[in-house]
Amino acid sequence: MKPNRTLNLVPIALLALLPTVVLKANAQAASPADKNFVTTALRGGMAEVELGKLAAAKGTSNDVKQFGQKMVTDHTQMGENMKHVAQQVGASQPSTMSAADLALETKLKVLSGSAFDKAYIQAMVKDHEDDLGLFNKEIAGGSSSVVTDAARDGAKIIQQHLEMIQKIAQSNNVASN
């Protein structure tokens, strides 16, 4: 008896469809709030990179310059990871920073010296406090394990950044707003 080659191809054809099925399942498991979190995280990460570049270039203190460069490095990597999550769950990927972050960037661009450092430090303390709250909210209430896992990973990094910038604020005698 000859083997039926058509039947042997059926499992291969089904395996080829598996990534599509998994992506659709992940997209369906992500709530609108999960997708909004991903988009917001991507937009915020974009701002961290752009503002970090500014701090690395304009910062007066080495602490500010080094922190700015760390923001570029870490948030670029986080952004790449979050882009994969966005693709998996069907979240939109923003192309611009938020209006508030654009306004902050404009404000920082005209400052120089210690005024720049102070404004950047204050903004980064507030931003990382807000971001940590956003990520923790997603961890606690998200419906997509893909998104909550990404939020958990991101929260660890944001917590480290927050501790770093708080120490920088303290050593530079910069009070939070």
Kindly list the structural domains of the chain, giving each domain's residue range(s) and its CATH number in brackets, ordered by start: 5-171 (1.20.1260.10)
> Does the pLDDT value for residue 66 go beyond 70?
yes
State residue 80's pLDDT score: 96
If pLDDT is split at 50, 70 and 90, which confidence band does 29 have? confident
Other beta carbons within 10 angstroms of residue 147's beta carbon come to 28
User: Tens digit of pLDDT for each residue in 127-177?
Assistant: 999 999 999 999 999 999 999 999 999 999 999 999 999 999 999 998 876
The rounded distance, in Å, linking the Cα atoms of 114 and 19 is 52
> Does the pLDDT value for residue 48 go beyond 70?
yes
State residue 14's pLDDT score: 47
User: Tens digit of pLDDT for each residue in 73-113?
Assistant: 999 999 999 999 999 999 999 999 999 999 999 999 999 99
What would the 3-class secondary structure string for 77-134 be?
A: HHHHHHHHHHHHHCCCCCCCCCHHHHHHHHHHHHCCHHHHHHHHHHHHHHHHHHHHHH
State residue 3's pLDDT score: 55
pTM: 0.82
CB 34 within 8 A of CB 89: yes
